[in-house]
Structures are given as C-alpha cells and as structure tokens.
Amino acid sequence: MNDKVLNARTLTDDEFFYGHKACPGCGGSLAVRIALKVLGRRAVSVLPAGCMSAVGFNFPQLAFANNSIISTFAGTASMMTGIAAGYRAQGITDVPVVGFAGDGGTADIGIQALSGAIDRNDDILYICYDNEAYMNTGIQKSSLTPYGSSTTTTPVCGGGKGNLTDKKNLFEIVAAHGIPYAATATVGNMPDLIKKIQKAAGIKGTRFIHVLCPCPVGWGIKSSDTVDIAREAVESGLWVLAEYQNGEFFLSKKPKEFSDVKNFIKKQRRFAHLTDEDIEKITESRNKKWNYINNVYNN
C-alpha cells in the first residue's frame, strides 16, 4: 500500500478495471475502478453475482488486471475470509482482500456471511456498491431501494406507488457489530471516497465501505449525470457521508443548507410518479434522520 496521501492528482494512472461492459455512466464501475487504483495491483477482489461481475468477467476476457474471482451470490464475505486465511497461512500479510458486492448481494442475501466475517474480525475490506436495486437481473427491489422508487417488483402501474419500505440502515447495522472501521461514501465525492478507501486499507480487521453508486438504467438519469446526482444525494441530505471507528460515529460532511429534495427526485425517472405529498413525506423522514444524526454523530 501507498504511504503518501492519495487524491485525484497522486492516484496512479495505472488502470486495473478496464475493457468491461458496464453501461455508460455506471456508478458501480467507477467505484471499483477507483478502489483498485487505491489498493493496487496486488489486491485480490471478490465479486458475487451482480452487474460488476457480469460486466467484468467475460470469458475469455477478464476486465480486472489484478487477481479477481466470482463468489456465490450469498458468499462474498465467506470467500474473502478463505482468501485472507490462505494468505495468512503462507505468512503473506500485504495482500489486500477486497469485496465488491451490490446492495442485493450485501444487504439481502449476503448479510449473514458479512455478519459472520465481522464477528470473526477477518482481515478484509468489504465494499458495497449500492445502486439501490437488483440491476443485473432487471431492476428488482432490494432492502436498500429507497421509499417511492419504481422497480419491476414495486411497479407503479395499477395504482402502485413504487417501493413502500424505507432503505435499510446498513451502515449502522454493520457498525452495531463493533467493526474496526465502517464508512459511507459516493462516487460524487471522489476525494472523500479515495480518503476512506486508503484509510480502510491501513486498518487491520474487517472494514466496510458503503458507496452510493447511481445507475443510469435503473434510476432513469442521463449517463452524464451520475456524478452530479450522487453529489446531490449528499447535498439534499438524503445520503449521509460518515465514518464509524472506535465505537463512535463521525459525520464527514454536513451540508450548510440542504438542497431541494424535489429537485433531486424529479431528475430521476424511477420517482416520476411521486406527488408533492410523497416528496413531503421523504423530506420529513430526511429531517427526522438528521435530528438523530445531529444528536448521535460527532461533527
């Protein structure tokens, strides 16, 4: 690992994830690309079924320049545990083992394996690229799909209102395990993402980063808007940038004034059906969340 502080200027020009078949403007592929630039060629990556494995492993071509492997959908963290154990048995301590799993692969089917790995404090860095639905199989709802979002399993047709459940608080669920390090990030705040990956790489034990990664296809946004939308999620207060370490929560960024939730919502086709009343409900739940954060998180 690199000792110098990494940022857009000092990050290597080497590419470790290229030639893949992700859609234009794919936030998930940006997160994988940047994470591997921080972690370097010796990193071993584990990817379960999902968009990033579907676009990255195209036999006979591999879009990863580092060692990479596909795990079962539920088993990202278990496979990482095994790889870390294998290196440990050989006395090799400088190979980062990183996972890149989607929201479905992490918060739904993979949560048991992740919970077990954190419990054992395995020496792994788990990155959840959260595009807020099961994108690879056609935009089905996951437990990280936000309230109101239209997906193929929470359709708007026939009077449906889209998804009626709130997004699971995965960051705090992970933190509740007493993990050495957890953080949230987005592909719209690159310096913050790079800093958190580098920080996580320097910590022993289980580390977890939850990265919001817009998906132009599933969100109904222009492929050129991925970064701006991710940034607006933070500015509107709907996505919170934070860290958890030594049993405490830390806020990474507090918008001075929240930008308009309606503006953010109306840019995305998945929310096109929402009424002013629905948006008011989302705004109220944001305000409630921030009341809690202001009380519990350190600034």
Ligand X SMILES: Cc1ncc(C[n+]2csc(CCOP(=O)(O)OP(=O)(O)O)c2C)c(N)n1
Binding site for ligand X (CB under 6 A): 28, 49-52, 73, 102-105, 131, 134-137, 142
Residue 193 or 242 having the CB closest to ligand SF4: 193
Shortest distance in whole angstroms from residue 171 CB to ligand X? 16
Note whether 193 and 31 are within 8 A (CB).
Answer: yes
Identify which of 217, 253, 228, 254 has the alpha carbon closest to the alpha carbon of residue 132: 217
Residue 51 or 84 having the CB closest to ligand X: 51
Calculate the CA 177 to chain-centre distance.
Answer: 18
List of residues contacting ligand SF4 (CB under 6 A):
22-23, 26, 28, 51, 55, 131, 135-136, 215-218
- Sort 213 into a burial class: Cβ within 10 Å, 0-12 / 13-18 / 19+: buried
List of residues contacting Mg ion (CB under 5 A):
102-103, 131, 135
Residue 95 or 135 having the CB closest to ligand X: 135
User: What does the alpha-carbon distance between residue 282 and residue 165 come to, in Å, rounded to a whole number?
Assistant: 12
* Tokens 């692969």 sit on residue: 105
43 binds, among ligand SF4, Mg ion, ligand X, none (CB under 5 to 8 A by kind): none
96 binds, among Mg ion, ligand SF4, ligand X, none (CB under 5 to 8 A by kind): none
Shortest distance in whole angstroms from residue 129 CB to ligand SF4? 8
Shortest distance in whole angstroms from residue 30 CB to ligand X? 13
Residue 133 or 234 having the CB closest to ligand X: 133
Identify which of 161, 152, 271, 276 has the alpha carbon closest to the alpha carbon of residue 221: 271
Residue 95 or 230 having the CB closest to ligand X: 230
Please, which residues have CB within 8 angstroms of residue 73's CB and are 6 or more apart in sequence?
Answer: 48, 49, 50, 105, 109, 110
